[in-house]
């Protein structure tokens, strides 16, 4: 097997591109694709300050790695979710990466925000932990990105294709508008970019291994039953039989610009925090209120704190 580019021995076979490459040419191919995606979708420029949301897993650490290698001005953001040892290990992984590469890192913690863990919050909200966690993460990422030009996440092609499949199967047309590789800034919502939207999990794993990125392989303990894993599994089966299906599926969606035509939810500023939301009060503020209500109940009432919160002094 010879490398298509340099004709030396190839170690990597990318079925979805029908392409054999040696390690060096693969890295070059990978960098070019990320760079082209960033420019084609006008995600960011070298002048921009990018806040990169990093979980400690391979996608987000590889993203931070490549963005800084390509010369972009980055700062990492890690949210400590307080999901037992999994969160401790994630945090350690991110710190280690930032220190080795001498990169700036911001850290926020769910416990500092609410005084509770995700599991406790899920109980209070009477929602599955993943749902609560997703909402809290989105809110904190957006809030922390205030001083930056944009927020980058490590969502990859497998994430995008499986989300698209789920949205179509359930006809959640409103969600299609969120599936673009770039979500433009809108009042309090920062520009969000997904430079890996066209890059598969398999390619990112190769990149991480070849670059020696030390990442956490472990998955969040709450994600085991996540429906997204079912959709990913189905798409992988199809991909095995018909390589490039995932890419064709997601690219077809982008080309047809369905995300522009999809019914958009009406957004207005949250009455508590001012961030754009559906309805009067955003879910983050609603959750804070519920936590406070509980606290007041168990402590026999603390109206002063609640009043102060409701006036926005939080």
136 exposure class (CB count in 10 Å sphere: 0-12, 13-18, 19+)? buried
Stretch that binds ligand AMP, among 9-17, 78-86, 161-169, 253-261 (CB under 6 A): 78-86
Q: Which of 133, 197, 270, 282 binds ligand FES (CB under 6 A)?
A: 133
Q: Which of 21, 22, 53, 98 binds ligand AMP (CB under 6 A)?
A: 53
What CA–CA distance (Å, rounded) separates 314 from 304?
Answer: 13
Token pair 């102060």 is found at: 308
Contacts 24+ apart (CB under 8 A), 70-74: 70/31, 70/34, 70/35, 71/46, 72/44, 72/46, 72/48, 73/46, 73/47, 73/48, 73/49, 74/49, 74/50, 74/103, 74/104, 74/152
Stretch that binds ligand AMP, among 9-17, 153-161, 250-258, 306-314 (CB under 6 A): 153-161
Q: Which of 20, 60, 179, 283 binds ligand AMP (CB under 6 A)?
A: 60
Binding string, 107-126, against ligand FES, x = CB under 6 A? -----------x--------
Phi/psi of residue 213, nearest 5 degrees: -80, 125
Of 135, 156, 147, 160, give the one whose Cα is nearest residue 81: 135
Contacts 24+ apart (CB under 8 A), 258-263: 258/176, 259/176, 259/177, 259/178, 259/179, 259/180, 260/177, 260/180, 262/173, 262/174, 262/175, 262/176, 262/177, 263/173, 263/174, 263/177
Residue 54 touches ligand AMP, criterion: CB under 6 A: yes
Q: Which of 56, 57, 76, 129 binds ligand FES (CB under 6 A)?
A: 129
The two three-digit tokens of residue 167, written as one number: 């949205």
Distance of CA 290 to the CA centre of its chain: 26
273 binds, among ligand FES, Zn ion, ligand AMP, none (CB under 5 to 8 A by kind): Zn ion
The answer to whether the beta carbons of residues 59 and 196 sit under 8 Å apart is: yes
Binding string, 271-310, against Zn ion, x = CB under 5 A? -xx--------x--x-------------------------
Binding string, 6-45, against ligand AMP, x = CB under 6 A? ----------------------------------------
Residue 222 touches ligand FES, criterion: CB under 6 A: yes
The answer to whether the beta carbons of residues 263 and 184 sit under 8 Å apart is: no
Stretch that binds ligand AMP, among 33-41, 151-159, 166-174, 181-189 (CB under 6 A): 151-159
Residue 220 touches ligand FES, criterion: CB under 6 A: yes
The two three-digit tokens of residue 143, written as one number: 């809030």
Residue 270 touches Zn ion, criterion: CB under 5 A: yes
Q: Radius of gyration (Cα) for the chain, nearest Å?
A: 21
Q: Which of 154, 181, 195, 262 binds ligand AMP (CB under 6 A)?
A: 154
53 binds, among Zn ion, ligand AMP, ligand FES, none (CB under 5 to 8 A by kind): ligand AMP
Binding string, 221-260, against Zn ion, x = CB under 5 A? ----------------------------------------
Instruction: By CB under 5 A, name the binding residues for Zn ion.
Output: 270, 272-273, 282, 285
Instruction: By CB under 6 A, name the binding residues for ligand FES.
Output: 81, 118, 129-130, 133, 220, 222-223
Instruction: By CB under 6 A, name the binding residues for ligand AMP.
Output: 53-55, 59-60, 77-79, 81, 137, 153-155, 159
């Amino acid at each position: 097997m010879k490398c298509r580019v340099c004709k030396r021995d190839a170690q990597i076979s990318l079925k979805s591109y029908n392409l054999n490459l040696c390690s060096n040419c693969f890295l070059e191919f990978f960098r070019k694709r990320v760079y082209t995606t960033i420019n084609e979708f006008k995600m960011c420029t070298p002048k921009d300050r990018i806040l990169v949301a990093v979980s400690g897993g391979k996608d987000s650490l590889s993203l931070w790695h490549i963005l800084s290698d390509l010369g972009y001005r980055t700062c990492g953001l890690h949210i400590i979710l307080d999901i037992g040892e999994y969160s401790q290990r994630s945090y350690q992984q991110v710190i280690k990466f930032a220190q080795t590469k001498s990169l700036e890192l911001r850290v926020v913690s769910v416990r500092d925000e609410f005084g509770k863990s995700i599991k406790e919050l899920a109980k209070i909200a009477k929602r599955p932990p993943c749902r609560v966690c997703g909402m809290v993460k989105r809110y904190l990422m957006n809030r922390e990105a205030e001083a930056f030009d944009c927020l980058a996440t490590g969502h990859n092609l497998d994430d995008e294709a499986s989300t698209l499949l789920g949205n179509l199967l359930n006809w959640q047309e409103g969600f299609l508008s969120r599936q673009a590789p770039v979500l433009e800034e809108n009042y309090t919502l920062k520009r969000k970019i997904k430079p890996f939207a066209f890059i598969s999990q398999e390619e990112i794993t190769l990149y991480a291994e070849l670059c020696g990125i030390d990442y956490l392989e472990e998955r969040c303990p709450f994600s085991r039953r996540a429906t997204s894993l079912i959709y990913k599994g189905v798409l992988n089966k199809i991909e095995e039989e018909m390589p490039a299906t995932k890419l064709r599926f997601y690219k077809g969606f982008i080309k047809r610009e369905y995300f522009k035509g999809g019914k958009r939810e009406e957004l207005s500023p949250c009455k508590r925090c001012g961030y754009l939301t559906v309805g009067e009060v955003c879910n983050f503020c609603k959750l804070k209120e519920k936590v406070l209500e509980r606290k007041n109940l168990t402590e026999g009432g603390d109206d002063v704190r609640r009043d102060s919160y409701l006036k926005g002094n939080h």
